[in-house]
Amino acid sequence: MALSIEAFGASPDGGGDATPAARLALARLREGGERRLVLPAGRLDFWPDRATERYAFVANNDEGLKRIAFPILDMNGVEIVGEGTRLVFHGRLVPFLVDRSRHVRLSGFSIDWERSFHSEAEILAEHRLGLDLRIPARFPYRIVGGRLVFEGEAGAEHALGNALEWDPVRRETAPFAADNYGIGERYAAEAIGAREVRLTTRLNRPLPRVGNRMVLVDERRDCPAIVVGGSTDVTIRDVDIHHAGAMGVIAQRSETIRLERVRVTPPPGSDRLVSTQNDATHFVQCRGEVALIDCLFENQMDDATNIHGVYAQVTERIRADAVELRLMHRQQHGLEFVTAGEFLQLAHADTLETFAEAGVKAVQRVNKEFFRVTFERPPAVLPRPGDVATNLSWTADATIRGCTARANRARGFLISTPGRVVVEANRFHVPGAAILIEGDARSWYEAGPVRDVAICGNVFDDCNYGVWGRAAIQIGPAVDAVRQPTLRYHANVRIEGNAFIAFDERLVHARCVDGLVIRGNTLRRSTTHAPGGQGPVLDIDHCSRVETEPPAPA
Amino acid sequence: MALSIEAFGASPDGGGDATPAARLALARLREGGERRLVLPAGRLDFWPDRATERYAFVANNDEGLKRIAFPILDMNGVEIVGEGTRLVFHGRLVPFLVDRSRHVRLSGFSIDWERSFHSEAEILAEHRLGLDLRIPARFPYRIVGGRLVFEGEAGAEHALGNALEWDPVRRETAPFAADNYGIGERYAAEAIGAREVRLTTRLNRPLPRVGNRMVLVDERRDCPAIVVGGSTDVTIRDVDIHHAGAMGVIAQRSETIRLERVRVTPPPGSDRLVSTQNDATHFVQCRGEVALIDCLFENQMDDATNIHGVYAQVTERIRADAVELRLMHRQQHGLEFVTAGEFLQLAHADTLETFAEAGVKAVQRVNKEFFRVTFERPPAVLPRPGDVATNLSWTADATIRGCTARANRARGFLISTPGRVVVEANRFHVPGAAILIEGDARSWYEAGPVRDVAICGNVFDDCNYGVWGRAAIQIGPAVDAVRQPTLRYHANVRIEGNAFIAFDERLVHARCVDGLVIRGNTLRRSTTHAPGGQGPVLDIDHCSRVETEPPAPA
């Protein structure tokens, strides 16, 4: 028998705050006995006021003291089962936080916010010094001292961090539209009519078109929809994520995560163009298998997924067998990067060449940034300050099958994991690279190389209609060009049996790969746009053991 | 024998980061054996990078994930003894956090920051639409999108939150200078010369004078100098606090705190006008005795001290014997307001009249704002939503003797505690009320009434030269005037044997006191300023059991 959230005071379609009921129901589940919580069909609303609170470090999102509607903390075996239930959130609230738990199943519901974290405005006029915008009533705002302050619910307010042009007819980013990050420091807003605002600012080229829509996004990433950390065996099935004030699903240092029929998409029947404010999904330093099966990732304001490790920097060699390490990117702070008994791989940051591996005997955490690591024995080659380390004990296999990635900002799948990776039978229509295999130790600090990637049977449908890629499939570490001729960072990538439809015939861009097979693919030329750049169909350099055949006409 | 911080790698006057040494030394003390850590004479520098981290709720300051130079956490018996040692901090760092500890002694050092959190600018010109300022090189800033961004160290940045005019010759706030809170939302800055900035803004009256100095303060209160929470028997002796990015000493829910020869004052030989960014000292829901002996509180940007309880609001009556309570002021969030076994007093918020007391059987904390309290039995009169509760188990006695409070922003001593209070042999020269006895349940939620206050043998030297008071001694709860005739919120205040020197002859303003004695005081008229307001020397209304005599000419 299952518990119903109704037994704890929530009533579907009742309009009241279901947060206390969710808290009480989870407390009951935590006591044991029952494992299954049912969210009956209808709409449930959640406010932050009486939500559980926890300071959370969420990789690639923003850390902070979060309010959590469904706190699944230190639990073993829990199912939250909706019946097509609509969960609607109000203000700054994290819908689901799964932390240090095992065997978690979430299914059968949708997640949306009454008032989205981002806003969308119609472009009334473009002039040399900026834009005139009409902001619909469902995106409340005020102008304070020349700044736009977007008003959320429950006291939440949002600044203007990035402005990106979208085409409301195609419901995708306008062709080759430019990001306007940092606009928050260089604009003045004034009211020019009822819900009409003039932004005086310098926009990046190409300038937006009248009639298109500017999507106005805060740079804060406070409220992901589903956060998974330190957990094992988490399955999310038949869940629609219509919105989040950060990423849709973000998992870190977790093992075996399966998303099946997770659909990141704006709510049905809504005029809203944008789904989640950042990546649809993201997996940081996970292990076991990450599986994305039959999912839809569309209209989110960043990549469809990113599966990667982390490079920490050596800041001091304390002894031959001990180093101080630092998590460099602020959105990696607080990650449990390594614990005793795990293995680190050491590399030079400028070349990304590995030079030693070392078992870890002890870790002393100083704070969210720094920790002191003692090795079992001194590494064969001693690291120097500036070198980087990645954790070999936490690397994931990945299976992405039957998914659609489309009409978002930026790229499709970012793959940086040495595990076995299969990307198969997916469909892409994304404005940047559909698949990006990179790795860097100088800005995002996202490790690491791939060792076994199969990209097979996918359809790449008119990708690269934006500013976020050099080819439909782009492979190569972020190192200086001078390092590339001898570096073979990635290995064993097979691109086979895929169908490319392309106005931009740059299909594959590959650097620093040892073992690259491209064969049995087809290409159908399209005329949707003029290409965003010129280059060979297969642009391959500084690679070894390469076997390619040009795509056959389709 | 004592440990020296030098044994852990810090070298006085060495210029390096002493933070790791402080952390290691305290870890050693925590292991037991030694109780005393010596900070040898000279200068020690501290940066936040490798400091211990803790999320801290600090009442009347801002909560947050803090870096802490000296984390005195869960310790019993620790002395940190300087030899006139100068501790200099860099960036966002809390020098001392004493938490859940007993028998702590701090002595013999000074606290300052290399770059203060506030900035000070010379007024070059005042024009109808704002000010021209010259900002000395030691207050680095840049102008970004029309905003002043003050640059701290270690990445710290400070916005402009309040601007207050100071007289650099008298080294006190300019006569009747107005606060300009909220200026951060209504100004534009532009460079008009090397380190010269024009602020276009509407300032509150009176307008500042050319040649005076504007003190420019962020509204964030992130870095108090010394924080004491959940601790017992803490003594701070011979400590100079030259600066803090919040309050100087803030203690909450702690028992028996003694400050002896604590001097809050700008560093000697410095041209800097301002010491701490907010109150010199502050005591929230403490018990036992709070003693301030022979201290100096000058040039800080808020009151000299404030000793008060907290009113939490009843937000729901769950059952006859259970309520939901909420901490209303955001800077009280996270306070451990009440635990099982303690006593709450219930009052109506609009009249502050108490109507019941109740023992607490159980407390369930929901988050930093809300908690659910079960009483031992239903209170004699049941509370309703909107009523307030204060904790009778945590009320302090206070002794303030031999202190000087002068030349700060706002008031001197704010006393809101029902314990025995002695304010004796102090000297005041503050721009607001020297002593304020208030209590409110509508904005700051600072409880509560006084029951026994002796104000004896003090010198009140030209107070009320600013906009923060109605008399040198001001008593009365913050309730609507219509409530006052019958309300006797405070009781037993004796003002005796004090010497008043005054250009503003409003010496005592008292409302709603039962038992008020004013006798044996002297008044010497001064002509320093024109009075800021008119009114009787003793303005007493809605009081009972009043015994007064006019001050004798001195």
Q: Which residues of A touch B50 (CB under 8 A)?
A: 366-367, 370
CA distance A93 to A74: 20
Q: Please provide residue B151's backbone torsions phi and psi, each rounded to the nearest 5 degrees.
A: -100, 120
Q: What is the pLDDT of residue B383?
A: 97
Residues B367, A63: C-beta atoms closer than 8 Å: no
Minimal Cβ distance to A50: which of B51, B187, B370: B370
Residues A50, B366: C-beta atoms closer than 8 Å: yes
Q: Which helix (H) or strand (E) holds A22?
A: helix A19-30
Q: What is the CATH number of domain B310-391?
A: 2.40.30.10
pLDDT in tens, A539-548: 999 999 999 9
Closest-CA residue in chain B for A54? Answer: B367
For residue B165, give the nearest of B232, B216, B239 by alpha carbon. Answer: B216
**Using beta carbons and an 8 Å cutoff, which residues of A are at the interface with B?**
23, 49-53, 55, 63, 65, 67, 144-146, 184-188, 366-370
CA distance A289 to A421: 9
Mean pLDDT across B309-338: 98
Q: Is the pLDDT of residue B128 over 90?
A: no
For testing contact with chain B, the best of A53, A57, A144, A335 (most B CBs within 10 A): A53
DSSP assignment letter at B114: S
Q: Which residues of A touch B146 (CB under 8 A)?
A: 146, 188
Return the beta strands (E) in A420-480 as ranges. 420-424, 427-429, 435-437, 446-447, 452-456, 459-461, 473-475
Closest-CA residue in chain B for A372? Answer: B50
Distances (CA, A) of A428 to A168, A304, A404, A407: 19, 10, 6, 9
Strands B427-429 and B459-461 come out as parallel
Q: Which two tokens stand for residue B135?
A: 């900002």
CB distance B208 to B131 below 8 Å? yes
Residues A50, B186: C-beta atoms closer than 8 Å: no
For residue B29, give the nearest of B21, B39, B37 by alpha carbon. Answer: B37
Residues A368, B65: C-beta atoms closer than 8 Å: yes
Q: How many CB pairs under 8 A join A and B?
A: 51
For residue A159, give the nearest of A147, A168, A177 by alpha carbon. Answer: A147
Shortest distance, CA A205 to any CA of chain B (angstroms):
20
Q: Is the pLDDT of residue B510 over 70?
A: yes
- Tally Cβ neighbours within 10 Å of residue B205: 7
Shortest distance, CA B184 to any CA of chain A (angstroms):
8
Residues A65, B67: C-beta atoms closer than 8 Å: no
Mean pLDDT across B208-213: 97
Q: Is the pLDDT of residue B1 over 70?
A: no
pLDDT grade, residue B448 (50/70/90)?
Answer: confident
Q: Which residues of A touch B55 (CB under 8 A)?
A: 55, 65
Match 């130079």 to its residue by tokens.
B69
Q: Which two tokens stand for residue B444?
A: 């700051």
Residues B52, A367: C-beta atoms closer than 8 Å: yes
* ipTM for this model: 0.92
- Tally Cβ neighbours within 10 Å of residue A507: 26
CB distance A215 to A178 below 8 Å? no
- Tally Cβ neighbours within 10 Å of residue B323: 29
Residues B367, A53: C-beta atoms closer than 8 Å: yes
3-state secondary structure B296-311: EEECCCCCCEEEEEEC
Shortest distance, CA A220 to any CA of chain B (angstroms):
17
Q: Is the pLDDT of residue B262 over 80?
A: yes
* Cis amide linkage into residue A211, ω under 30° from 0: no
Adjacent-strand bridge partners of A215: A120, A164
Minimal Cβ distance to A51: which of B52, B188, B367: B367
CA distance A242 to A287: 27
Minimal Cβ distance to A55: which of B55, B186, B369: B55
Domain segments of chain B as ranges: 3-115+221-298, 119-217, 310-391, 420-553
Distant-in-sequence, close-in-space partners of B92: CB < 8 Å, separation ≥ 6: B48, B66, B67, B152, B154, B156, B222, B223, B245
Residues B369, A49: C-beta atoms closer than 8 Å: yes
Closest-CA residue in chain A for B147? Answer: A185
Which of A1-5, A139-143, A406-410, B443-447 is predicted least confidently?
A1-5
Torsion-angle region of A431 (φ positive above 0: left; ψ -120 to 50: alpha; else: beta): alpha
Match 């199969």 to its residue by tokens.
A454
Residues A369, B185: C-beta atoms closer than 8 Å: no
- Tally Cβ neighbours within 10 Å of residue B61: 27
Residues A367, B186: C-beta atoms closer than 8 Å: no
A277, A283, A289, A292: CA torsion to nearest 10: 10
Mean pLDDT across B509-525: 98
Q: Please provide residue A108's backbone torsions phi and psi, each rounded to the nearest 5 degrees.
A: 75, 35
* Cis amide linkage into residue A378, ω under 30° from 0: no
Provide the residue type at B416 as one letter. S
Q: Is the pLDDT of residue B445 over 90?
A: yes
pLDDT in tens, B56-67: 999 999 999 999
CB distance B274 to B302 below 8 Å? no
Distant-in-sequence, close-in-space partners of B452: CB < 8 Å, separation ≥ 6: B418, B419, B420, B421, B491, B492
Q: Cα angle at B195 between B190 and B200, to 5 degrees?
A: 30
Tally the residues of chain B.
Answer: 554
Shortest distance, CA A276 to any CA of chain B (angstroms):
27
- Do A3-115+221-298 and A310-391 fold alike per CATH? no
CA distance B332 to A141: 29
Q: Which residues of B touch A370 (CB under 8 A)?
A: 49-50
CA distance B389 to B309: 10
Match 């925590």 to its residue by tokens.
B30
Residues A367, B53: C-beta atoms closer than 8 Å: yes
CA A315 and chain centroid, separation: 28
Distant-in-sequence, close-in-space partners of A20: CB < 8 Å, separation ≥ 6: A8, A9, A50
Q: Which residues of B touch A188 (CB under 8 A)?
A: 146
Q: Which two tokens stand for residue B161?
A: 């939150």
CA distance B284 to B446: 9
Q: Which residues of A touch B67 (CB under 8 A)?
A: 367
Distances (CA, A) of B176 to A448, B121, B172, B432, B440: 63, 19, 11, 9, 25
DSSP assignment letter at A338: -
pLDDT grade, residue B455 (50/70/90)?
Answer: very high
pLDDT in tens, B498-509: 999 999 999 999
Return the beta strands (E) in A140-243 as ranges. 141-144, 147-151, 157-158, 162-167, 172-173, 187-193, 196-201, 213-217, 226-229, 232-241
Residues A50, B188: C-beta atoms closer than 8 Å: no
pLDDT in tens, A185-235: 889 999 999 999 999 999 999 999 999 999 999 999 999 999 999 999 999
**Using beta carbons and an 8 Å cutoff, which residues of B are at the interface with A?**
23, 49-53, 55, 63, 65, 67, 144-147, 184-188, 366-370
Residues B145, A369: C-beta atoms closer than 8 Å: no
CA distance B62 to B77: 28
pTM, rounded to two decimals:
0.95
Mean pLDDT across A424-439: 98
Q: Which residues of A touch B187 (CB under 8 A)?
A: 145
What's the first-to-final CA gap in chain B, in angstroms? 54
Q: What is the pLDDT of residue B145?
A: 84
Residues B366, A52: C-beta atoms closer than 8 Å: yes
Distant-in-sequence, close-in-space partners of B82: CB < 8 Å, separation ≥ 6: B38, B39, B41, B107, B108, B109, B110
CB distance B211 to B121 below 8 Å? no
Distances (CA, A) of B127 to B23, B189, B193: 51, 14, 17
Residues A67, B367: C-beta atoms closer than 8 Å: yes
CA distance A77 to A24: 17
Minimal Cβ distance to B53: which of A50, A188, A368: A368
Residues B187, A145: C-beta atoms closer than 8 Å: yes
Distances (CA, A) of B273 to A155, B177, B181, B270: 37, 15, 19, 8
CA B524 and chain centroid, separation: 30
Q: What is the pLDDT of residue A185?
A: 84
Minimal Cβ distance to B186: which of A23, A145, A368: A145
Residues A65, B51: C-beta atoms closer than 8 Å: no
Q: Which residues of B touch A367 (CB under 8 A)?
A: 50-53, 67
Q: Which residues of A touch B368 (CB under 8 A)?
A: 53, 65
pLDDT grade, residue A1 (50/70/90)?
Answer: low
Answer with the residue of higher pLDDT: B38 or A448. B38
pLDDT grade, residue A449 (50/70/90)?
Answer: very high
Residues A185, B23: C-beta atoms closer than 8 Å: no
Residues A55, B67: C-beta atoms closer than 8 Å: no
We find that the CATH architecture of domain A3-115+221-298 is 3 Solenoid (2.160)
Mean pLDDT across B382-411: 98
For residue B281, count CB atoms less than 10 angstroms from its CB and return exposed for 0-12, middle for 13-18, buried for 19 or more.
buried
Q: Which two tokens stand for residue B115?
A: 């770059």
pLDDT in tens, A133-152: 999 999 999 999 889 999 99
CA distance A297 to A294: 10
For testing contact with chain B, the best of A17, A23, A55, A65 (most B CBs within 10 A): A65
Residues B367, A188: C-beta atoms closer than 8 Å: no
Q: Which residues of B touch A369 (CB under 8 A)?
A: 49
pLDDT in tens, A241-293: 999 999 999 999 999 999 999 999 999 999 999 999 999 999 999 999 999 99
CB distance B323 to B313 below 8 Å? no
- Tally Cβ neighbours within 10 Å of residue A211: 11
CA atoms within 13 A on the CB side of B388: 28
Handedness of CA B60, B65, B70, B72 (dihedral sign): positive
- Tally Cβ neighbours within 10 Å of residue B269: 6
Residues A65, B188: C-beta atoms closer than 8 Å: no
Distances (CA, A) of B150 to B67, B94, B180, B200, B273: 20, 19, 17, 17, 17
